[in-house]
Amino acid sequence: MINQGIKRQSLADLLPESLVTDLVLISVFALAIGVFAQITIPLPFTPVPITGQTFAVLLGGAALGMRRGVLGSLLYLGLGLVGVPWFAGAAGGLRVAADPTFGYLVGFVAAAGLVGYLAEAGLDRKALGTVAMMVGGNLMIYGFGLVFLMLELNVGLTKGLTLGVTPFLIGDLVKLLLAVGLLPGAWYLRRRITSGSRA
């Protein structure tokens, strides 16, 4: 599905290339994850809340590309662990590493890298490719999150899925549909602007 004929490029690569640009984009990405983390809906039957983090991670990672996506999500994770209260529920500090939800935070880094890589390969330019990219990113987050959740709570796979995956699938579908509109739409606008400037 990866189009080898497309130059490896993310949306962020359309901006003028400089160290300052990279630093700003990485910092804004980390901040965006922290802001979206405060959109939190606790669920009474699981320690994992519904948040806006995954949308910020996947959309931002795709827009920034693999390198900036990984660095921005690492910045978010690192600053949160040293005390910046921008994890879900305004949490922060090393104690978060012992929470059952910590695996999801680690998964954000891997997912941002994956969707960034796939976006650079051109998957974010069409709806079907964006769907595949977002599904892959979500699976990466769930993979890390579910394993850590099961270990911390000492539960099996069925219980782990009930606590850490199935309650969030409908929300993930909504986020996926938003991404399908935003990412290919941004590339479409870019093509229209470019073709208009050449006319």
pLDDT of the chain along its 199 residues, tens only?
455 555 678 999 999 889 999 999 999 999 999 999 999 999 999 999 999 999 999 999 999 999 999 999 999 999 999 999 999 999 999 999 999 999 999 999 999 999 999 999 999 999 999 999 999 999 999 999 999 999 999 999 999 999 999 999 999 999 999 999 999 999 998 888 877 655 5
Q: Please report the domains of the chain, with CATH numbers, ordered by start residue.
A: 11-186 (1.10.1760.20)
- What are the CA-CA distances from residue 132 to residues 46, 51, 146, 165, 176 (Å)? 28, 22, 21, 18, 10
Round to whole Å and give the CA distance between 171 and 55. 10
> Residue written as tokens 């490896």?
8
